[in-house]
A and B are shown apart, each in its own frame.
Chain A
Amino acid sequence: MTTHTFKPDMPPPRKSVGVVAWMRSNLFSNWLNTLLTLFAVYLIWLIVPPLLSWTIFDANWIGTTRADCTKEGACWVFIQQRFGQFMYGFYPSELRWRVDATVWLAIIGVAPLFINKFPRKAAYGIGFLIVYPLVAFWLLHGGYFGLENVPTSRWGGLMLTLVIATVGIAGALPLGIVLALGRRSNMPAIRVVCVTFIEFWRGVPLITVLFMSSVMLPLFLPEGMSFDKLLRALIGVILFQSAYVAEVVRGGLQAIPKGQYEAAAAMGLGYWRSMGLVILPQALKMVIPGIVNTFIALFKDTSLVIIIGLFDLLNSVKQAAADPTWLGMATEGYVFAALVFWIFCFGMSRYSMHLERKLDTGHKR
């Protein structure tokens, strides 16, 4: 009997593996593709080398004044010198540790929520949501228990941007959920009120809302009662944002199969309990990515407070660039601000995509 031994596999043809083959199929598969590749390379050559030399190789990194910027490229000295203003605005420099402490508290407080096996996560989360805003307000604003008062007119920079964005979303979430439930209600009067409210705020640009909150809100309130500028802006932002959150939540409510509503009713649950125990937990879980996306939009929109004269990150940069001792630094300033905004927004959008994959478990039949 003869034994058959298989010959070892031949190596794949050279043309189908390796860098060359990859380039052949992805870059030069036909003449049009080749042309496009060459065009892309030309574009990169046009943009990237000057950009790199401006931002890094020819840039000025060391110094204290404008005179130290002798090289062709960017003058990052400007950013270094004004970094405190960009981050904290006019917050008194000896009290800035309070802002840092607020941020660290938030990071430490939120961290357990990302640990999968943390016990009683929901209870902890709710407790954190109740306690943290009070502590944060106390730390930032002061005025009680021995902390010196820092009026909101001195808040600014990235800190103000973060304050507006987080307060905006935290205020808009509950209001948005109520509005979404109202919009899907069977009671015509409530539905009409909610639809009108949502469509009104979604139909107007945020700028007009901010204008309104800064010039019309004082007229709406009883005489003698006045809010400070930041609070007025926050009210405008919350009302505006709640309409967008409501639409996202409505999407989640609509995606819950009817059987869930019927099952909750069959269990004898009333409206509030069926919503609170059955529908909303599922719906809200589904719309978390959507809510993160509206938060990204809100984060970008916070830059609009420049219009009503609040000094957020963008306005701080704009003011610093108009300083006569640093004339001509607009590009550096805006590039820096763009980078900060970009890091936040890009990071959040990646996170929202990750959540989308992670939460994409059920409901699809």
Chain B
Amino acid sequence: MQKQIGTSRGFSLSDPRIRAWLFQIITIVAVVSMGWFLFDNTQTNLQHRGITSGFGFLENSAGFGIAQHLISYTESDTYARVFVIGLLNTLLVSAIGIVFATILGFILGVARLSSNWMVSKLATVYIETFRNIPPLLQILFWYFAVLLPLPGPRNSLNIADSFFLSNRGLYMPEGTMADGFGAFAVALLLAIVGTALMVRWANKRFEATGVPFHKFWAGLAIMLVIPALSVLIFGAPVHWVAPALKGFNFVGGWVMIPELLALTIALTAYTAAFIAEIVRSGIKSVSHGQTEAAHSLGLRNGPTLRKVIIPQALRVIIPPLTSQYLNLAKNSSLAAGIGYPDMVSLFAGTVLNQTGQAIEVIAITMSVYLAISISISLLMNWYNKRIALIER
């Protein structure tokens, strides 16, 4: 009979399994008692200060104005609505920032790899400058040193009589629904469905017969022709109204308030520098042998890039790219530095000061960010598993 090594009978501290149990029990006891200690202190402190805990305050009326709200808001609305407005403003600036940072970042990343010496050096200088300056400093710079000293609305910078940049922000033409809107929406839907069907058909035919089909151009044609027809028959879908100067400010049109503008510019400039480096390393990670192999198979430059290089580069690019997106969303909380009404400055700033419900407010704010980052990292893990190389 073989006797298993390491299973001594009885209780002994030198038995690793018993020690493992002991360590874990100690850890759990320590964590729980720490939690209890904090909870107990908080309870007493709150009682002494006369603060009632709970989320009831969310129903109270806020009573302060907000510079930018995507949904209707009056001062008599509740704190809960303030929270939603803050959340929407955070999402708005994150979304705009992500779109522009991605575009700029990809351009810069490719430019840095360019064979053109001048272009690649310019991109390098940009990247090294902007990623080594704190984002908050960039935000303050754009806000206090560039946007606020701009002339007032009367002397605003006029771009083609429809865009006006002044210290009140950037005024843009506003689109309102016109007669052709319904028809246009239907046409767009039709075009999308048509393109999807076409792609499915083309893929099926390609798999069956090997005959390629110009999916991109056909799709582009469908997407352009059907909506264009709808515009011709039913009229324009959107009616553009340019902002007009009345009195001391503009009337009509969409406005990007200076806080939003400064935040967008700074976050875009900062994040784009990081995205550029990610793109560069992604493209460089695909070895040159891949290009040569594709060329020797008879693929030209375009298909080589689209079918061989980019799919492999994306595998390296996408995970860090998402974490940059997450960073941008988290950095949008720096809005508190210039008073853009995002979730942190509005909710963890103003609402906290007014109500004194520190624990509830901070807990809500943190859990929103946690929810965002956990859901994105779950998505990323799923994506990573899907695209991971299956190695032999």
Contacts and interface: CB of A to CB of B under 8 A. Distances in A.
Please determine whether chains A and B interact with each other in the same assembly.
yes
Interface of A: 26-27, 29, 33, 36-37, 40-41, 43-44, 186-190, 193, 199-200, 202-208, 211-212, 215-216, 218-223, 296, 300-301, 303-304, 306-307, 314, 318, 321, 328, 330-331, 334-335, 337-338, 341-342, 345-346, 349
B344 A208 contact: yes
Interface stretch (B138-146, B196-204, B234-242, B292-300): B138-146
Contacts of B334: 207, 304
A159 to B, nearest CB: 17
Given A44-B122, A208-B362, A189 B24 contact: yes
Contacts of A334: 137, 140-141, 144-145
Contacts of A189: 24-25, 27-28
Nearest to A212: B362
B336 A207 contact: yes
Contact of B358 (A215, A307, A331, A341): A215
B24 A187 contact: yes
Contact of A220 (B38, B117, B118): B38
B192 to A, nearest CB: 33
B20 interface: yes
Contact of B140 (A211, A220, A314): A314
Contacts of B116: 26-27, 29, 33, 36-37, 40
Given A203-B370, A219-B358, A341-B133, A208 B115 contact: no
B128 interface: yes
A205 B137 contact: no
19 contacts: A26-B116, A27-B116, A40-B122, A41-B118, A43-B122, A203-B372, A208-B365, A208-B369, A211-B344, A211-B348, A215-B362, A216-B362, A222-B41, A306-B337, A321-B144, A328-B149, A334-B140, A337-B137, A338-B137
Given A207-B334, A216-B359, 13 more contacts: A27-B118, A36-B119, A40-B116, A40-B122, A186-B20, A193-B28, A205-B369, A207-B344, A208-B333, A211-B362, A218-B45, A331-B146, A338-B141
A218 to B, nearest CB: 8
Contacts of A203: 369-370, 372-374
B122 A223 contact: no
B42 interface: yes
A64 B145 CA distance: 22
Contact of B41 (A186, A221, A300, A341): A221
Contact of A219 (B41, B135, B352, B370): B41
For the complex of A and B, list the 7 residue pairs with the smallest distance between their C-beta atoms, beginning with the closest.
Answer: A189-B24, A345-B132, A205-B330, A300-B134, A203-B373, A26-B117, A331-B145
Contacts of B12: none
B37 to A, nearest CB: 8
Interface in B129-184: 129, 132-138, 140-141, 144-146, 149
A342 B129 contact: yes
B31 interface: yes
Nearest to B129: A342
B348 A208 contact: yes
B214 interface: no
B114 interface: yes
A190 B117 CA distance: 53
A321 B143 CA distance: 13
Nearest to A332: B145
A301 B44 CA distance: 34
A304 B136 contact: yes
B24 A190 contact: yes
Contacts of B25: 189
Contact of B135 (A186, A216, A300, A346): A300
Nearest to B344: A207
A35 B23 CA distance: 67
